[in-house]
Structure 1
Amino acid sequence: MRTQKIKTLILGLIFMVPALILAQDNSPQAFWVHEDVVKPGMVGEYEAVCKELLENMKTHNIQNDGWIVTNTADSRYLFVGAIDNMADLDKSPFPGLAEKMGGDKMGALFGRMDKCYDTEHDYVIYLDKELSYMPGGITQTPEGQNYRKFHYLYFTPEKRATVREKMKAVKDLFVAKGSKVDYRVYRSGFGNRGEYYMVAIAAKDPVDYAQSGMDNQKLLGEDGQKVMGELWGNLLKYEEIAGQMRPDMAYSPSN
């Protein structure tokens, strides 16, 4: 079990929320991800502790940049924050929270959180704007679309250039056909095991996701089958994970 100091440092490093609408240049945006793999039987307690932390942040109006949260169907909770460079990781975590909340109370809070999981991960991913397809502007939180499907496309170093080429071909087809399904592409960075692209697709709910997927498949037709087949033929492994955004666990400081 980690000490309070290490725990608050890790969380403080990542709780730097990205702007809802990201810059439209093609430079990659780095994100620090903290992932808690919560025990299935402890999900309720874990969320209660997180919301208690959130309420203390609001009560004391802690002036860090805030955070957004995603949780997946397999009880993983991902806290994602934008970073400009590695120097951002030196910023003070939860400035003033321990003093305002009380060090013992804060330590007890994180102690309760630590009991809810045995595994946690920290890693970096990069939003690849060149491969992402969002004609209306790249946003991580499309209004009214909290459901998520995360598609993980793993590849070997040998196939790195080829897979990128095939990903570009997929986007080009979406553009040519005027697809109504948009997506964001992230590539793996520091702290990840192996290389992958993660494709995030937002929808209102599972039914909306399924219906829009079927409509898009018809739109892309045989051309879609061809370009996707060429991409799939160069992958090492593929995983699909359902999740949802958790605005009830997000934080944004008031002015």
Structure 2
Amino acid sequence: MQIRLKIASFLTLLLISLVSMAQEGENQAFLVHEDRVKPSMTREYEKVSKDLVSACKTNNVKNINWSVASMHDGTYLAITPIKDLADIQNFNFEDLREKVGDAKFNQMFENFNKCYSNHGDYVTILMPSLSYMPDGLTTNTEGKNYRVWHRLDVSPANIQKVQDKMKELKALYASKNSKMHYRIYQSGFGNVGDYFVAVISAKDAVDYDSMSAENQKLIGDEGKKIFDEMFEYVDAYTVKRGSMRPDLAYQPEE
């Protein structure tokens, strides 16, 4: 009972926190469903994903939407903006189940289950105060569906120190008028461990690599110094590449 009370208390505090973020217009929370697809099942997974999108469009399913990012290592992320934790409970496929029937609905998701060994859900928070997008903060970068994710795993004691260094980097990028724009996300509810992810959009791999090389020259030794100082507080660093997949996304009609 005591454990349940602690969990309920934590969820209440998190709910208040997310609502506060939305009201202040500072941070945006996203619900992420992550599928780690088996290499041999990539084609089947994408076929089933498109079948799901088609079923939702055909039946004009309401109150649910998602965008999709696919990484080169077989990870797929279904991403939905949320206002608070209540949105997570409301995010379900009951409307689709009612319209297609239990048998067809269950078969569709059984087909998904064959494609991966691990999947799960969590919340991530977009941090405008740490992000650098001088033309306007947005996740919809038209014409730039290529993505690179830079993940920095951080211990709780070093979160503020990393944030401070990220603010220094943002100020430097702004002063140099850098063309490498990025969004910073921080781990939220459902994650084990703390991390930040810098997401960069580009037209393709060549465009990203060219932009990265140009940016390194632009920020020079000053930028290298700040990065070196920041990485003193980072426990692990990984980079993944991939792209947004509009063909696997769903947005209900108005």
Give the TM-score band, short-chain normalised. 0.7 to 0.9
CA offsets 1:184-228 (integer angstroms, 9 cap, x no match): 000011221211110000101111000000111111111111111
Asked if 1:231 is matched to 2:225, the reply is: no
Identity percentage over the alignment?
A: 44
Measure, in 1, the Cα distance between the counterparts of 2:188 and 2:229.
Answer: 24
Measure, in 1, the Cα distance between the counterparts of 2:244 and 2:48.
Answer: 18
Q: What amino acid is the match of 1:133?
A: Y
Secondary structure of 1:111's aligned partner? helix
Measure, in 2, the Cα distance between the counterparts of 1:200 and 1:134.
Answer: 11
Give 1:187's aligned residue.
186
Secondary structure of 2:157's aligned partner? helix
How far apart are residue 95 of structure 1 and its match? 4.4
CA offsets 1:47-86 (integer angstroms, 9 cap, x no match): 1011001001111111124210001111011011111111
Q: What amino acid is the match of 2:59?
A: H
Cα RMSD (Å) of the superposition? Answer: 1.5
Measure, in 1, the Cα distance between the counterparts of 2:64 and 2:136.
Answer: 22
Measure, in 2, the Cα distance between the counterparts of 1:184 and 1:121.
Answer: 23
List structure 1 runs of 4+ shifted beyond 4 angstroms: none
Point out where structure 1 has 5 or more consecutive residues left out of the alignment.
1-22
Measure, in 1, the Cα distance between the counterparts of 2:227 and 2:137.
Answer: 23
Secondary structure of 2:138's aligned partner? coil
Return the TM-score normalized by structure 1: 0.88
Aligned positions of 1:1-255 closer than 5 A: 27-91=26-90, 93-255=92-254
Choose 181-190 or 83-92, whichever is displaced more: 83-92
Point out where structure 2 has 5 or more consecutive residues left out of the alignment.
1-21
How far apart are residue 38 of structure 1 and its match? 0.6
Q: What amino acid is the match of 2:55?
A: N
Measure, in 1, the Cα distance between the counterparts of 2:121 and 2:165.
Answer: 29
Secondary structure of 1:180's aligned partner? coil
Between the two proteins, the alignment pairs up a number of residues equal to 233
Check the 8 A contact 1:26/1:129 in 2, yes or no.
no
Measure, in 1, the Cα distance between the counterparts of 2:97 and 2:158.
Answer: 48
Secondary structure of 2:60's aligned partner? coil
Return the TM-score normalized by structure 2: 0.88
